[in-house]
Structure formats: structure tokens, C-alpha cells
Structure 1
């Protein structure tokens, strides 16, 4: 696996933006689905922020599976094929057992974080957490206690291995039908261990852009989801896609 520069994640974003502009309808459709899910989640749990906080952040753990169709579009563009909805539907209709298994694993991790987050906040918050303002007042800027720091630490402890396991795994599974889930996860870990600084920056960019998209009434996800999905394909290509040795 060849070395990459620290600024490589910005190149992935630039390439992802070009792919989004090439096939905007498919990208916006993915973003709209994610935005609709976020709006529905907020409508359901807006008075249960102890659940909402974990659910929104937990969604980031399963996002790589949601973006599978965007990887297929970027691959089609790369191959000179038509990057339309048909190539997305082919991926989902295939019901690839490897992708399904990986998706189930990420969903389990996301559910685990939602439950852990809810338990931590409800058990240790000094007052009931029903609204975002309650969370801000009693958790984030509380004058005493460790709850917010503990919440962030536990979230990071869960997110870090999930990120390391999935950063290139799903694009790799899509691109290489012979690869196993185990091989894809190991390849993803090797990429992280070989390029820790660029991928730490990439993780920070993913979190920042995702948060920005959610804050803008979820409507920012219309652009953020396809941007990050396409960029993730180019991250895979830069880290392992050109190296057949990455998968034994």
C-alpha cells in the first residue's frame, strides 16, 4: 500500500464532488432518504433527547452501508459507464450476503451505542433530558461531573474500531466479489495502521461535515451524503483499490 499525503482527504472530497456533479439525481436521492430518516427520527424522539443523541450519532456507524449505491455510481463513472439509478438498483437487488452481513454488524454496533448512550444519560444526568436544551444545560455545559466527557469517551471507544473496520471495507466488498468480509475488515485495519494521520483527518472531516448537514434541519444531508459517499470510494481507491495484494 503506497503512502499518501496528509492532505489526501481533501483530494477525495474534490473527486467526490465531481462525481456528485456527474450524477446529481442519484446523489440527491441518497441524501433525501437520509434526511427523511433524520427528520422522522427527530419528530419521534424530539422530547426524548436521551435517545435522539445516541441515535443520531449511531447513524454515522451504519452510514457506510447506506452509501453502497454511491460507491457503485463512482465505480461506474471510473469505468466510463452510465452512472444512473440502474447501477444502484443492481447492487441492492443482488442481496450480496457479504454486504448484508457487514450491514448487520454495523447495525448491531449502532444499536449498542444507542442503548449505551441512553442508559448513560438517563442514569447519570442530574435532571431529565427531554430536549436538546436539556442536553446542553445538564450534560454538555454542566459545571460539575464527568457525564459529557464520559459520553464522548464511550462514543469514541466504540466509533474508532468501527471506523477502522469499515473505512474501505464496503467499497472493497463491492469492487471485489471474491473478497471475504474478514479479508475486507483486515484490509481496512491495515489501511488505518499504515496511514493513521490522513485517516484521522478523514474521520474528523466525515464527522464535521455530517454534523453540519444535520444541524441545517437535516437538509444539508442532501449534499453531504453524496459528497462523503463518493469521496469514500476515492479513499478506497487511494488506500487499497489499486493494490491487489491488499486482499490475500
Structure 2
């Protein structure tokens, strides 16, 4: 299929890696966080505060909040571009402070802006879908987190929660496959958005077990952060952001070296 695409949009070569590499990515993400803690904490605090604001505004409208929180996770990768830049600077032995973050954000890279708008639209779509499912499928209405826990998650008649998760997974899976490698690739190299997305899909398809494991780790740590009233996100966001950079570096072949597919 790549042979019929224009040369500038053909996916880059990728590597096959062992599924245990996911834990190496986490370790390297933690190491980068320790090397530039202020930048990581700033990202974590801002994103945690934004999540906390959503929590306060929609506490008694949990039919919106449930989708908003998971939709927030769809957009998080584009908000982590500063941490990708910091990890790149650390790798190059360059200054890895807020100046590296500012260089990415001040560039107003149209490719990243377009991708961010797309992720925001997809996240909004899921929020609306989730709200519709919960509003129409649960009676009496779900208004608080306790209602959601008792009437949806722990409902005596199972089925609705599983459907809600399935629909969310169907919407989130292509977003994950399209962005997990694409966004750090766009930060690192001058490639087109289609090429970055196709490369991301190629990496996922070449490493189904590894990337499924990574998706599960990302979701588990993110849920842990959300379940701690957003305070856990202060650490989770920077570590996952830096770790995603190292996942990209492992998966996408540079100009020379590495087993490619």
C-alpha cells in the first residue's frame, strides 16, 4: 500500500521490539523526569489543575464528567509535546529547561496545531457519545461519581458498563494508534502529518503485544492519577510524556542502523 502513496507521505521504517521494552520506557521516562523535574512538575500541575477544574464544574453532572475525563486523555499527548522536546534535549546534551518547551510551543507548528485540533474534536465526540449513552441508558439519571459507581460500574444487571467501555475502546484505539508515535515524530522531524500517522500505525501493527501492553500501562497509570483527585497526574503526566518519547525512539528507525520492517 505504501508504494502507491507519494514519497513524502510513505511511512518510515519501524523496529520490532520486545514487549518488556515498555518497562524500559517507563524507567527512562522517570530518569528524564528526575533530570528535569521542574519542567515535568509544571506540566503535571497544569494538567492536574485542569482536570481538577473539570471535576469541580461537573461534579454533579457525572454523565458529562465520565466522558470528559477519558476525552481529556485523548488530548493529553499533544499537550505533552514540551516533554518530548525536553527528552530530546537531554539526549543531545543540550539545555533541557523551559526554553526547550518554549521553542516547541512558540513555533506554532501547523502540523502540531492541526493534530491538536483533530484530537480535540475526537475527544469532544467521545464526551458527547458518553453523555448520550449514560443519559439514555441509565435511569434514574447519573449525577454524581457515587451514582456512576453504583448504577453503572456495580450495577446488579451487568452489560451497560461493558458496552460503555467497548464503545470508548473502539473510539480510543485508533486515536492511540494514530498518535502514540506520530506526535513525538512530528516534534523530532520535519515529516508530514499523514506520514507521521502512517508510521505510528505501522509501529503498532508491527508490535501488537508490546503496544497493547503500553496502552494498558498508559490507561492504568492515567486512571490512577484520575482516581487520586488529579494529584497523581502531577507525576503520571511527566513520566508518561518522557516515556512516550523513548517509545518513539525505540520504534522508529533513524537514517542508519536498527532492524527495520
Question: Do both share a fold (TM > 0.5)?
Answer: yes
Q: Which residue of 2 aligns with 1:124?
A: 137
Superposition deviation, residue 144 in structure 1: 2.0
1:105 maps onto 2:115 in alignment: no
The equivalent residue for 1:173 is 186
Q: How does 1:1-248 map to 2 (within 5 A)?
A: 1-144=14-157, 146-177=159-190, 179-242=191-254
CA contact (8 A) 1:58 1:114 kept: yes
TM-score, length of structure 1 as denominator length: 0.96
Structure 2: state its 5+ residue gaps: 1-13
CA contact (8 A) 1:45 1:51 kept: yes
- Gaps of at least 5 residues in structure 1 are none
Residue pair 2:15, 2:203 contacting (<8 A) in 1 also: no
**Alpha-carbon distance in structure 2 between the residues aligned to 1:244 and 1:55:** 42
After superposition, the C-alpha distances for 1:61-85 in whole angstroms (9 at most, x for unaligned) are 1111010000000000000001000
**Aligned-pair Cα RMSD in Å:** 1.4
Structure 2: how far apart are the matches of 1:36 and 1:126? 32
Which of the two has greater helix per residue?
A: 1
CA distance in 1, matches of 2:58, 2:256: 46
Provide the C-alpha distance between the structure 1 equivalents of 2:253 and 2:184, rounded to a whole number of angstroms.
9
Point out 4+ residue stretches in structure 1 off by more than 3 angstroms: none
Asked if the contact 1:172–1:241 (Cα under 8 Å) also holds between the matched residues in 2, the reply is: no
Q: Distance in 2 between matches of 1:219 and 1:227?
A: 14
The 1-side partners of 2:249 and 2:72 are apart by 24
Contact 2:15 2:253 in 1 (8 A): no
Q: Say whether the 8 Å CA contact 2:32–2:90 is kept in structure 1.
A: yes
Deviation at 1:243, TM superposition (A): 5.2
Aligned length: 245
Output one character per residue of 1:213-236: Cα deviation in whole Å (capped at 9) or x when no partner: 111121111110000000000000
Instruction: Determine the C-alpha separation between the residues in 1 that align with 2:255 and 2:176.
Output: 21
Q: Deviations over 1:90-119 (max 9, x none)?
A: 110100000000001100100000000000
- Taking the aligned partners of 2:166 and 2:41, their CA distance within structure 1 comes to 33
